[in-house]
Structure 1
Amino acid sequence: MFRSQGMTTKNRYRWFVLAVFFAFMLLHQADKLLIGPLTTPIMEYFGINEAQMGVVFSGALLVGGIFYPLWGYLYDRYARSKLLALASFIWGATTWLSALARTFPTFVITRASTGIDDASYPGLYSLISDYFPPKMRGKVYGILQITAPLGYITGTVLALTLVGRLHWQGVFYLTGALGILLSVVIFLGVKEVPRGGAEPEFEGLEQISTYRFDWKTALGLFKKRSLLFLFTQGFFGVFPWQVITFWFFRYLETERGFSQNEVLITMVAAVLFLAAGYPIGGVLGDFLFKRTPRGRLIVSAFGVITGALLLWVTINVPLEQKTLFTAMLCLTAIFIPFASPNVLSTVYDVTLPEVRSTANSVQNMIEQGGSAVAPAIAGLIAVNGSLREAILIICIGAWLLCFFFFLFAIYFLPKDIHALRSELKERAEQERARQTSQPVTL
């Protein structure tokens, strides 16, 4: 059994699993976000405008939103490690299909199919939650979520260095191959562990009863008021990310007059600061969580309101002051990911282990379902106005709404955390009583 292994071996192996998942997410994010720096050559290849390209962006997001509930259900029913290997294989296969497209309608369809594996992360986070205890999860999730900005850098470097040699299709062939390779690594190297195995209430138990998805427990998620407000803020919270991810590269090129080298330098610098924001936010959340159950969401609310203010200042920097713009963009980038690891940790702070993938999937479905239209809306605003207007309207408006929903979630959170810990404690006492009553076999 997993719990009978020596603590040293257990600790070493969980960091190995974290490293494998870090590599998976980094390369997957690079593949997913390649579409941003490759936007211009793809638009030129198919002869399309911003509004049509926005449909390409939104297609994959909509498919991902549709598949979140299915992935969540499967993860809570079956072995998460094997399903993650399958997701990695699907990533590689669908990326290859999009590279094979030779007409715009075909590209829309094949690119949309890449959203299937984009919905696979809830199982990864759920499995990691059974390797690391609650007090460490903000930091661990922050480390994993660094992969989004680092993936963007990796994708940007791949796009700018290889597109001239391999064309944009060749870059997709390369990242698709990496997905298939990682599927083998995950299938052979990552073990499944008992759901809830890292909860402090179960510490010292040799075995843990298997708890799996059931509809009553899943439907109970919608009775937790803090969770409902987190779901609601999630609907708006990803709007800014989608707009920045898919349109900021082109905004720098076309509206701020940055050269290709200036775009690369600016985006790499900003993304490195963005990457630092994830673990900083996670560590701050863990620190305050040890002092108050509201700690993680306090950090989240602070991050979104500060990010909104700084982005407004940054976008309004005069066009000729490129250095000041870059410096302000980097400062803004530190704060905007503060909420990400803390919201995910909070979702797991109020949900039972056997429905955590489902809870995260519902959250992501709501986020992606709402934000899937953001790139298309931004494209329409840009056609009729400018990308500057699109970025300001969508990002600042969404973050202000998130701030207010965080305040409501902060108010209701302690009661929901107490309810979860009480139920886990009751389960642990029942498990100890069962194991104590079993006869010893000589």
Structure 2
Amino acid sequence: MRDRRYGRWATLAVLLCFALLHQADRLIIGPLTSSIMDSFHINEAQMGTVLSGALVTGGLLFPLWGYLFDRFSRARLLAIAAAVWGATTWLSALAPTFGWFVASRAATGIDDASVPGAYSLLADTFEPRLRSKVYAVLKMSIPVGYVVGAALATFLAPRIGWRRVFVATGAAGMLVAALVALFVREVPRGATEPELVGASGASPTFRWPVARRLLKRRTLVALYAQGFLAVIPINVVTFWMYRYLETERGYSGQASLSVAVVTVAGLALGLPLGGALGDKLFRTTLRGRLLAVAATIPGSFVLCAALLVPVTQPVTFALLAMTGSFLTGFAAPNIVATISDVSPPEVRSTALAMQSLVETTGAALAPLLTGIVALRISLGTAFLVLIAGASVLWIPCYLMALRSVAGDIKQTRAELRGRASTSVDVQMSIR
């Protein structure tokens, strides 16, 4: 038992390292945007195609990765994904022209679609009662990775150039691939589900009929719809924040980094607190995790309020941005945990991949739309329109998921108990 506990925390630590460094590599292009635009002599709309390219590639590959993770060893596939991350990032560093750079950055999206495998593996490594907290730890890689990437861009890029920064982050991918191969072990699917206690030791296998039935879960359909909208604000801020601070608010590189750190610090605090709150409420009601997600609603409007703060009040702007990010951070771990709660173990990667596909579609459009609006009006207007519009449309989808989640969780648990009962009956008949 002690070895198992050590092994699961080692798995979480390595996957956190994977996610953290991968997010730093993925998000570092935001702080490097101005340097890259100057290097290739391009405008905001052209840069928007670069930012969206990797998201489109990842989105197209999510269904394939989800299927592979449900059929084969998730640990081995994650090691392969890390190696692909390193190789494609090196290609970005070597790109001689803007066209080659667009293609190489799009190729970095191949490994972005591996995220559902990590969540699925952790769902079978830790008990359901801990899922939101465990997912929150992994989700913290996004804000922390952004800070790491921003720091690398701010302090290294002026000294060694943006290309060598990509060389360093590509090397990190190769190192992580080795760590995953050495320390992350595969576990049976459904190993931590209480309803499967007493069932045969065979891991449930992927079945197309079960995968197709996922779309009959009203909660999943509603969460997929809200996922498309929910990622638009965060991707607008993630990829264009540095450019916005430099051009719209006139901040220096150091000042931009300070505001970015404060903003993502709010998100980094909101993720674990939101996850802990979701797990606590879940023990009282099956709607508990989605009730915690409600904090996103005031958080989105606080972010919009920050954009209206005059340039002469940088402290107020930073505090509002931090508060809004803190509240919106409550959503991510609880939504991923809810998808795991309503999905059978053998198709959980597929369910998560479908969510990621929808989210990536919204994420891919966000940078491009921002660039187009910024070119025609202003970057500040693009921020306000996209963040406010997506937030308002998100609310009905969230309310539909909140209404149906309890029934869908009960249905999934009943199916798992039925399998366990059938397995026990078969074993008794054999004896």
Which interval holds the TM-score relative to the shorter structure?
over 0.9
Aligned to 2:98: 104
Q: Is 2:214 aligned against 1:211? A: no
Aligned to 2:378: 386
Aligned to 1:415: 407
- Aligned to 1:43, which of 32, 37, 42? 37
- Aligned to 1:335, which of 310, 327, 335? 327
Residue by residue over 1:287-344, the C-alpha shift from the partner in whole angstroms, topping out at 9 and shown as x without a partner, is 11111111111221x2221112101211111110111111111111101121111110
Aligned to 1:262: 255
Residue by residue over 1:139-184, the C-alpha shift from the partner in whole angstroms, topping out at 9 and shown as x without a partner, is 0000110000000000011111111222101010111011011111
Q: Distance in 2 between matches of 1:81 and 1:434?
A: 31
Q: Kindly provide the amino acid, as one letter, of the partner of residue 405 in structure 2.
A: L
Aligned to 2:313: 321
Q: Kindly provide the amino acid, as one letter, of the partner of residue 145 in structure 2.
A: G
Aligned to 1:3: none
Q: Is 2:121 aligned against 1:153? A: no
Q: Distance in 1 between matches of 2:260 and 2:361?
A: 27
Q: Is 2:399 aligned against 1:403? A: no
Give SS of 1:397's match: helix
Q: Distance in 2 between matches of 1:127 and 1:432?
A: 25
- Aligned to 1:193, which of 187, 190, 203? 187
Residue by residue over 1:167-211, the C-alpha shift from the partner in whole angstroms, topping out at 9 and shown as x without a partner, is 1010101110110111111112211110000111234x4852221
Q: Distance in 1 between matches of 2:200 and 2:11?
A: 21
| TM value normalised by structure 2 | 0.98
Q: Distance in 2 between matches of 1:409 and 1:144?
A: 23
Q: Distance in 2 between matches of 1:217 and 1:225?
A: 15
Would the alpha carbon gap of residues 106 and 390 (structure 1) be closer, same or farther in structure 2, given more than 3 Å must change? same
8 Å CA contact 1:209, 1:431 repeated in 2: no
Q: Distance in 1 between matches of 2:73 and 2:15?
A: 16
8 Å CA contact 2:189, 2:346 repeated in 1: yes
Residue by residue over 1:2-36, the C-alpha shift from the partner in whole angstroms, topping out at 9 and shown as x without a partner, is xxxxx222112101100000000000000000100
Q: Kindly provide the amino acid, as one letter, of the partner of residue 29 in structure 1.
A: Q
Residue by residue over 1:331-363, the C-alpha shift from the partner in whole angstroms, topping out at 9 and shown as x without a partner, is 111011211111101111111000010001111
Q: Distance in 2 between matches of 1:216 and 1:206?
A: 21
Matches within 5 A, 1:146-185: 146-185=140-179
Q: Kindly provide the amino acid, as one letter, of the partner of residue 4 in structure 2.
A: K
Residue by residue over 1:39-77, the C-alpha shift from the partner in whole angstroms, topping out at 9 and shown as x without a partner, is 010000000010100010011110010000000000000
- Aligned to 1:368, which of 360, 363, 368? 360
Aligned to 1:56: 50
Aligned to 2:291: 298
Deviating more after overlay: 409-418 vs 81-90 = 409-418
Deviation of 1:433 after TM superposition, in Å, equals 3.9
Would the alpha carbon gap of residues 238 and 69 (structure 1) be closer, same or farther in structure 2, given more than 3 Å must change? same
8 Å CA contact 2:154, 2:254 repeated in 1: no
Deviation of 1:432 after TM superposition, in Å, equals 3.5
Aligned to 1:30: 24
Deviation of 1:226 after TM superposition, in Å, equals 1.2
8 Å CA contact 2:199, 2:423 repeated in 1: no
8 Å CA contact 2:63, 2:353 repeated in 1: yes
Q: Distance in 2 between matches of 1:328 and 1:235?
A: 24
8 Å CA contact 1:212, 1:354 repeated in 2: yes
Q: Distance in 1 between matches of 2:355 and 2:289?
A: 17
Would the alpha carbon gap of residues 176 and 141 (structure 1) be closer, same or farther in structure 2, given more than 3 Å must change? same
Q: Is 2:342 aligned against 1:350? A: yes
Q: Is 2:218 aligned against 1:225? A: yes
Q: Is 2:252 aligned against 1:252? A: no
8 Å CA contact 2:304, 2:387 repeated in 1: no
Deviation of 1:436 after TM superposition, in Å, equals 5.3
Q: Kindly provide the amino acid, as one letter, of the partner of residue 61 in structure 1.
A: L
Q: Distance in 2 between matches of 1:136 and 1:88?
A: 26
CA RMSD of aligned residues (A): 1.3
Deviating more after overlay: 338-347 vs 181-190 = 181-190
Deviation of 1:435 after TM superposition, in Å, equals 4.7
Q: Distance in 2 between matches of 1:64 and 1:241?
A: 17
Q: Kindly provide the amino acid, as one letter, of the partner of residue 398 in structure 2.
A: F
Give SS of 2:161's match: helix
8 Å CA contact 1:98, 1:107 repeated in 2: yes
Q: Kindly provide the amino acid, as one letter, of the partner of residue 273 in structure 1.
A: G
Deviation of 1:430 after TM superposition, in Å, equals 2.9
Q: Kindly provide the amino acid, as one letter, of the partner of residue 94 in structure 1.
A: T
- Aligned to 1:279, which of 272, 275, 292? 272
Give SS of 1:373's match: helix
Q: Is 2:112 aligned against 1:121? A: no
Give SS of 1:194's match: coil
Q: Distance in 2 between matches of 1:429 and 1:8?
A: 29
Across the two proteins, how many residue pairs are aligned to each other? 431
**Unaligned 5+ runs, structure 1:** 1-6
Q: Distance in 2 between matches of 1:15 and 1:175?
A: 25
Aligned to 1:133: 127
Matched-pair identity in %: 47
Q: Distance in 1 between matches of 2:331 and 2:120?
A: 18
